[in-house]
Amino acid sequence: MIWRDDWSFGAGDMAESLTITRPTDGHLHLRDGAGMADVVGHSSRVFARAVVMPNLAPPIVTTGQAVAYRDRILAALPPGSDFEPLMALYLTDATPPAEIRAAKASGAIVAAKLYPAGATTHADRGVTDVGRIAHVLSEMEACGLPLLVHGEVVDPAVDIFDRERVFLERVLAPLVERWPGLRVVLEHVSTREGVEFVGAAPPRVAATVTPQHLLLDVNDLLAGGVRPHHYCLPVLKGREHRQAVARAATGDSPKFFLGTDSAPHARSRKECGCGAAGVFSAPAALEFYAEAFEAAGALDRLEAFASLRGADFYGLPRPAGTVTLVREPWEVPASCPFGEDVVVPMRAGEAVAWRVAAGSEGG
Ligand code: DOR
Ligand code: ZN
């Protein structure tokens, strides 16, 4: 990591530029088709690679489908990009253990994702009961394929704000205990209880952290009017939870690493009577994290969080090349092309303090 504060001005010794190893996005939705071609460049411009979520319609449930999807992503990349899509398999009640072996052997698939059936976008074919995938989890444990978890119960008796906490008690704690060799990522951790669970768990249990759960709370969703572009799942929680998530991400535990969960939906699907869940952060994701880390006085840990811990968790080599962030305010676009429609990014039309310098891609 290289600090450049030699031309700092004003407030003492604030860093004016920061160069870090190219980051890894541990959780990214790219969709498919024309929409994918429109959004993938936002991520490939900055990130060396990303774990690509499999919740397409229909979902990516076989190794063959994952490899074909990866090829479509590679074909949609801007010319010259060496961005690496790391694929994840979508688990269903019917996933055969042999599919896990095929996934591992393919070299293209780095994880399998547990969506509780009905928990979120295109999760209708997800898992209805962990007991039904017991043999699959044993196979993943045996062959070293990590399990990524959307950690929310779908029990309608549980309030939406409690769904992560109750999932930890009912599902994740027993799962971590029953498969003692399984590596597990609690995706998009959103609660104090989630942070505490991961912190107290063995080193094989980690969590990804999104920019929205670091920077926003439920007031940014609901106070003064409903802001549909801040609606995501897990839903934004109260201030206390955001602070716990921020402390974990900006602290020195290797268990918390970057996963944007950037999830584009067409504007017409967000600004309507029943809006879809998802925050599209890709156009300024690393910059948002830089803001949060600066606010916590932890810019010196941004590289570990963004570029090192996730790669280490997945056992991947640290990517070559660097990106440079400069303190240079700019305005996030009001909208970005997305197939036939547009998608409204996080902080649309507003300023961000940091900018990724052009030409950072090398490596
Ligand atoms: O907000 C979300 N959007 N949460 C998810 O779990 C899925 C994602 C999506 O695919 O849109
Ligand atoms: Zn997601």
Q: First vs last Cα of the chain: how many Å apart?
A: 15
Q: Are 55 and 92 in contact (CB under 8 A)?
A: no
Alpha carbon distances (Å) from 128 to 78, 118, 165, 285: 39, 9, 18, 33
Residue nearest to ligand 1 atom 2, measured at CA: 278
Ligand nearest to the CA of 123: 1
Ligand nearest to the CA of 261: 2
Helix or strand (DSSP H, E) at 68:
helix 63-76
pLDDT at residue 120, rounded to an integer: 87
pLDDT at residue 17, rounded to an integer: 96
Mutate to test the pocket of ligand 1, among 25, 29, 190, 274 (most ligand atoms within 8 A of CB): 29
pLDDT at residue 14, rounded to an integer: 72
pLDDT at residue 360, rounded to an integer: 57
Residue nearest to ligand 1 atom 7, measured at CA: 121
Q: How far is the CA of 363 from the centre of ligand 1 (A)?
A: 31
Q: Quick one: which atom of ligand 1 is closest to the CA of 122?
A: 10
Q: At what angle do helices 192-200 and 239-250 cross, to 10 degrees?
A: 30
Question: Which is the CATH superfamily of the domain at 17-356?
Answer: Metal-dependent hydrolases (3.20.20.140)
| Total count of residues recorded for the chain | 363
Q: Which amino acid is at 69?
A: Y
Mutate to test the pocket of ligand 1, among 51, 53, 233, 346 (most ligand atoms within 8 A of CB): 233
Catalytic residue IDs: 261
Domain residue ranges of the chain, discontinuous segments joined by +: 17-356
Q: How far is the CA of 361 from the centre of ligand 1 (A)?
A: 28
pLDDT at residue 358, rounded to an integer: 78
In b/e form, how buried is each residue of 266-304, taking b as 16+ CB within 10 angstroms? bbebbeeeeebbbbbbbbbbbbbbbbbbbebebbebbbb
pLDDT at residue 3, rounded to an integer: 54
Whether the CB of 30 sits within 6 Å of ligand 1: no
Q: Are 61 and 358 in contact (CB under 8 A)?
A: no
Flag residues of the chain having pLDDT under 50. Answer: 5-12, 361, 363
In this structure, what DSSP letter does residue 171 have? I
pLDDT at residue 363, rounded to an integer: 45
Question: Per the omega criterion (within 30 degrees of 0), is the bond before 283 cis?
Answer: no
**CA separation for the pair 268, 293 (Å, rounded):** 33
